[in-house]
Structure 1
């Protein structure tokens, strides 16, 4: 016997259907905005720095190699932040009148290091070494993006496990857990 709806049931469903549809659209919108916010925070994060460093000039126009400033990348787990001595080796005489160079010079003269804000930070249970990656021929832009074109350094990769495992597989590197996890 076919199921039929009485008039009260039909009226209930005709009032409920638009509300359910509206709730569905609203939920989808909220999830989409939350997903975009999470993506922005994880990937596009670009923290303010105490001194605006123009990679566009140094790595871009001047084409300085990354290793000129990040001299420990091929020797150590950390690439290292350049010392003020490295910066001042040029800026004792170049662009000395620019506000950011004046700030840099003040730090140098006071022997006060610049408190740079990290762009990438991996959890403590991850063992990552720049040295292995540089010696394997992985270019800096593979993880850090085209810094030569960035006016402000930002994350361009999540550097989360899935992304790293995909990179390891495509480059023939070990995917054994102990390679990256302590």
Structure 2
């Protein structure tokens, strides 16, 4: 009787662990809006698409750091002192500059604290930004184009023959 209870409890525990692992593999890591409204209607289509500004021009930390970074207000202002300075969205930008405030951009992509995603390593491995971020140059409003699930990342690692050891991405 005690043995059967033990094995039943063990089976439930093993089942719970397997279910938990399956959920980690299948659930999205981020439940926020895929295309949040931003404080300034910034068009990647206009900047990266029409004007062909490369991702790394604005997201300059991507090659040196785990995070790609967002340009400072001064970076945007440097161009827009001369380009469309009276456009309504540029006037918003100027307001942030004059108030000495950072633009409170709403984050579109994020991973939990226990996931290590270094942009620099992925770029050095030859991946292009569109692999994870989609065709940003065609997006008027930035939209999270891939479902950041563990399974998606593992499939990409397998395709590119990158390590799938847990410690590669989990700290």
TM bracket, shorter-chain basis: 0.7 to 0.9
Pick aligned residue for 2:165 from 155, 173, 176: 176
Per the alignment, residue 95 of structure 2 pairs with 106
Does the alignment pair 1:50 with 2:39?
yes
Deviation at 1:116, TM superposition (A): 0.4
Query: Residues of 2 paired with 1:170 and 1:42: CA distance?
Result: 26
Deviation at 1:110, TM superposition (A): 1.5
Per the alignment, residue 152 of structure 1 pairs with 141
Per the alignment, residue 119 of structure 1 pairs with 108
Q: Secondary structure at the match of 2:74?
A: helix
Deviation at 1:43, TM superposition (A): 9.1
Deviations, residues 49-90 of structure 1 (Å, cap 9, x unaligned): 000101011100110100000000000000000011111111
Pick aligned residue for 1:93 from 82, 89, 110: 82
Query: Residues of 1 paired with 2:51 and 2:125: CA distance?
Result: 26
Per the alignment, residue 62 of structure 1 pairs with 51
| Higher normalized contact order (CA 8 Å, seq sep 6+, divided by chain length) | 2
Per the alignment, residue 151 of structure 2 pairs with 162
Deviations, residues 33-60 of structure 1 (Å, cap 9, x unaligned): xxxxx99x85971111000101011100
Per the alignment, residue 121 of structure 2 pairs with 132
Q: Secondary structure at the match of 2:141?
A: coil
Q: Secondary structure at the match of 2:40?
A: coil
How much is the aligned-residue C-alpha RMSD, in angstroms? Answer: 1.7
Q: For the pair shown, which has the larger CA radius of gyration, 1 or 2?
A: 1
Query: Residues of 1 paired with 2:111 and 2:57: CA distance?
Result: 24
TM-score, normalised by the number of residues in structure 2: 0.80
Provide structure 1 residue ranges, at least 5 long, that are not aligned to the other structure: 1-37
TM-score, normalised by the number of residues in structure 1: 0.75
Per the alignment, residue 4 of structure 1 pairs with none
Does the alignment pair 1:77 with 2:66?
yes
Q: Secondary structure at the match of 1:77?
A: coil
Query: Residues of 1 paired with 2:125 and 2:31: CA distance?
Result: 26
